[in-house]
Structure 1
Amino acid sequence: MNGSERVSSLQMMVLFLFFMTGSSIVIVPAPLTNVASNGAWVALLIALAAGMALLYAVLYMYRRFPNESLVVYSRSLIGNALTFLLLAPFLVVLFWNVAGIVIEIGIFFKSTMLKETPTYAVNSLLFVTIALTVRAGLETMSRMAAMLLILMFAFIVVVCLLVANLYHPEYLLPVMPDGIGPVLNAAYIVYGFPYSELVVFAILLPCVKEKESRKVGKHLYLALTINGLTLLASIVCSIMVLGPLSGDLKYSLYQLARLIFIQEIIERIESVIGFSLIVGFYFKASILLLILVRMLTQLLKLKNERMMVFPVAFVCLLLSLTTYTNEAALEEIVNTIWPLLNNLVYVLPLLLLAVVSWFRRKGVSGRRPRKG
């Protein structure tokens, strides 16, 4: 693991797709359907459009500063002191974000497969694995991601196909039984998680090889489109199978896997599906921890990233064991506070820097050389 590691544009796309889909495919469908009912898919499309606009802002700054991360170009635009004030909350929330993903993995395990296993045992094992993955470096992670992403998406497709005999398209109507209000509320929730989080990739984009930097925008838009289509398919499939219960049952895709039964040959495969979905959680947490370590070393001007991995992972482990111990409180935070917090600490700094960069560029281009 070092700051000079470079990956191809396609590898960055795979990492980005894993980051956007890894945990959201498990968490998003149920609360979204619970809030918006049959209009959940409309809410997702609204949030996806907002995510595309936000990705445009990230790519605008990447084109302006192609070899610099968010921290570096912030220093060049507003100076060291203001950069620290602007990005310190960003860094703090990243700690909570990594811990929150592992908490969700623990809750998933406790409520589905490993009900008697202590939380500290699950979280500790996960953080050791995540930290070792991050220490392997960005290039190794990008090669791992390709294989694991295929595995995760293959199981998602298999679930959607094997429950096809249970589909009831009539459950999709009416589209907005309670009007546009719940749909907009649900769009706000899903925009807060996962789409507002894509800003953190401004730390990793400079790692794309220079000769492929022009392709990265196209590939990231493609990844975001695939993410949206995957979430859309999981939401529509959940509604067509579970009907009104789709918003009340957590982990919709896992619940669909429990219903698979084909001639006593294929049944009870939810554990296999569950472990494949855990891969998504694990790899998203690994990418976030890598971003956190890299941003911490850049913000504090430290020289050795590798030495920071295990201490940072340990702090995140402590946060995962002492924060959000109440599952109901965690759901409330994710649905109401987290979208607002992500907008304030992730999106707002990026937009402010984009505005400053735009005005400076306009000011420079607007100057005319003096005659004579």
Structure 2
Amino acid sequence: MNKQERVSSVQMTMLFLFFMTGSSIVIIPAPLTNVAGNGAWISLLIALAMGMILLAGVLYLYRQFPNKSLIEYSRITLGNVLTTVLLIPLTCVMFWHVAGIVIEIGTFFKSTMLKETPTYAVNSLLFVTIALTALAGIEVMARMAAVLLALMFGFIVIIWVLVGNLFHLEYLLPVMPDGIGPILKAAYIVYGFPYAELVVFSIILPYVQQEDTSKVGKHLFLALIVNAMTLLTSVICSIMVLGPLSGELKYSLYQLARLIFVQEIIERIESVIGFSLIIGFYFKASILLLILMRVLSQWLRLKNERFLVFPVAFICLLLSLTTYTKESALEEIVNTTWPLLNNIAYIFPLLLIFIVTLIRQLSRRNKNQDV
């Protein structure tokens, strides 16, 4: 990836929206509804508020250190030694993060469409595609995002519309039958995935064109709201159609697509819908692999990060084939462990840098006032 590569604010926003929505639109509705029940939409709003606070912190540091990534301004504020200490867990979690997305794709395929296909075949093909996409660079990916984003969101809206005749408004009540506890627990889950993950986008924010830096903040906040509204609508549609089963059936949108039946003209379209939803997984993994390459190149001070693509993708492939092959273990990771890992690996470094930067800024301001 060339240092001179640049994307517009709108293109970066599309990448961000893909990153936040890509896998969460398929995975999140079922566990969220399973924990919070009919109050899942409240959990989403709480998680959105926390996500906005995190994004505000990322953008604050972006403004304080123009054209610098998280690693670069960590070295400025915390020094090389502490930055290295913080980068070890961050890099390890990112490796598993890429592998985890592909594990989810493989699990989705194995449980829905390609039940007889070996996992290694699905994962290997996906990683070759993901590696080639990341190798193309951020400018090419940004242009791809415009088309693929329209395709993914188009099919999501089609599902919402075509299951409209199956809606049962009475399924939305009662909102909080078990109190606020399950809602807060569900908010913690969806905060950990996907909202805590937005921190890694601070690695590639310097690729925004210089003339667009003033607009990128508003665009990213808008993307975060679009992401939350998409998840919110999907959760509400799932509850209104599936009722109590919405939390028990995995991949809620796919389950809704299986129920689509319009005058014997439109039916059994879940395979088309399924492959369109896979686009989100694939492109999110490509963006994350691109960010991981950038982390490694800045950490190791490499001039050319392209040669890292296939070795890193191969390591992630091995992780995807050897870790958490059982669905129950993977569900436990998503619901409990993943939010904790994201807090330690992603949010703690950002919070530490934010606090040190804020203290230094206040200190300089006080000195100027004294003078």
Give the aligned partner of residue 357 of structure 1.
357
Which residue in the other structure is 1:55 paired with?
55
**1:173 aligns to what?**
173
CA-to-aligned-CA distance 1:154-175 (integer Å, 9 cap, x gap): 0000000000000001100000
Partner of 1:184 in structure 2? Answer: 184
Question: Normalization by structure 1: what TM-score?
Answer: 0.99
Which residue of the partner structure matches residue 321 of structure 1? Answer: 321
Residue ranges of structure 2 left out of the alignment (5+ in a row): none
Amino acid at match of 1:178: D
Match of 1:97 in 2: 97
Amino acid at match of 1:224: L
Return the alpha-carbon distance in structure 1 between the equivalents of residues 118 and 112 of structure 2.
14
Q: What is the number of residues matched between the two proteins?
A: 371
Rounded to whole Å, the distance in 2 between the matches of 1:49 and 1:292 is: 27
Is the Cα–Cα contact under 8 Å of residues 2 and 306 in structure 1 kept in the other structure?
no
Counterparts of residues 107-118 of structure 1 (less than 5 Å): 107-118=107-118
Map 1:1-372 to 2 at 5 A: 1-368=1-368
Report the 3-state secondary structure (helix = DSSP H, G, I; strand = E; otherwise coil) of the residue aligned with 2:253.
Answer: helix
| 3-state secondary structure, aligned to 1:367 | helix
Could you tell me whether the CA contact under 8 Å between 1:95 and 1:292 is conserved in 2? yes
* Counterpart residue identity of residue 361, structure 1: Q
Distance 1:368 1:73 in 2: 23
C-alpha distance in 2, partners of 1:288/1:10? 19
Q: Which amino acid aligns with 2:291?
A: I
Spell out, residue by residue over 1:320-347, the C-alpha distance to the aligned partner (whole angstroms, 9 max, x if none). Answer: 0011111101101110111011011100
CA distance in 2 between partners of 1:301 and 1:290 (Å): 16
Q: In the alignment, is the contact (CA less than 8 A) between 1:203 and 1:294 conserved in 2? A: yes
1:369 Cα deviation from its structure 2 partner: 8.2
Give, as a single letter, the amino acid of the residue that structure 1 aligns with 2:115. Answer: K
Q: Distance in 1 between matches of 2:171 and 2:126?
A: 38
Q: 1:370: Cα distance to partner?
A: 8.4
CA distance, structure 1, for counterparts of residue 119 and residue 227 of structure 2: 30
* TM-score, with structure 2 as normaliser: 0.99
How far apart, in 2, do the equivalents of 1:89 and 1:339 lie? 14
| CA–CA distance in structure 2, aligned partners of residues 3 and 294 of structure 1 | 11
CA contact (8 A) 1:234 1:253 kept: yes
Q: Assess, with a 3 A threshold, how the Cα gap between structure 1 residues 370 and 157 changes in structure 2: closer, same or farther.
A: closer
| SS of equivalent to 1:249 | coil
- Aligned-partner residue type, residue 77 of structure 1: T
**Whole-angstrom CA distance in 2 between matches of 1:153 and 1:33:** 21
Report runs of 4+ in structure 1 exceeding 3 Å deviation.
Answer: 368-371
Query: Equivalent residue of 1:6, what SS?
Result: coil
- Cα deviations across residues 200-226 of structure 1 (Å, max 9, x unaligned)? 000010100011000000000000000
Structure 2 counterpart of 1:46, one-letter code: I
